[in-house]
Amino acid sequence: MKKSTAEAELVAPRRAGSTRTRKPEVKGGANNISPDRRAELIEKAARLFGAHGYDKTSMRDISAAFGILHGSIYHHFGSKEELFIAVYSSGVDRFIADVEKAVASYTDPWQRLEAACVAHLEALLSRESPAATVLADWSSSYSESLRLALVAQRDRYEKLFSKLADAVELPEGVRRRYFRLGLLGALNGVLMWYQPDGDSPATVVKHLVGLFRRKT
């Protein structure tokens, strides 16, 4: 069943962007780089994308940060879009790994969901990791092909979070779909107001999740 526009907004609204001119992809692409160097390149790119956004980060900037000539980066990734998808995918992988690790020691559905929310928020607030890039940047100038690729990656994480949210018992009258959307929206909205010297992510989550729990 096709998701509504609102339900798909784990990261940001699904908007079609303008078409961007892409450099031809180099055959072999990222296969020409070792796994360790690939991870390092993705990490460097993620920090730049996270700090400056997709539009204001160039392949030349990333090449300089990685310590290679500008033209050389295209032997590893055929375009900036291809590299950003790799960064985004790495971020999704990290979100999933963090959440799965956080919930592993709990059996109670609400405890599992709260632990997942803490892991989500901690990853989101870590602006120097690829995980942060997953939510930090959603540009109106993304091409349609890039937008669809990012949506496909994001949906992998949505599936995990939805499974955890669907397992809890909600108060009478609370619709599960709006619960999921409201909770994710509240978590992602923390980026707009969070102060490092304020409440911890765990405290923020405790209060946010508490808004939806059944009163006893």
Domains and CATH numbers, the chain: 29-210 (1.10.357.10)
- For residue range 128-145, list pLDDT tens digits in order: 666 666 665 666 678 888
pLDDT at residue 11 in the model = 41
Q: What is the DSSP letter of 111?
A: H
What whole-number distance in Å separates Cα of residue 43 and Cα of residue 47? 6
The predicted structure's pLDDT at residue 7: 38
pLDDT in tens, 13-26: 333 344 444 443 43
Positions of the chain with pLDDT lower than 50, given as ranges: 1-31, 216
Angle between helices 109-125 and 144-166 (to 10 degrees): 150
Tokens of 112: 């599992």
Cα separation, 9 vs 11, in Å, equals 5
Q: Please give the model's pTM, rounded to 2 decimal places.
A: 0.73
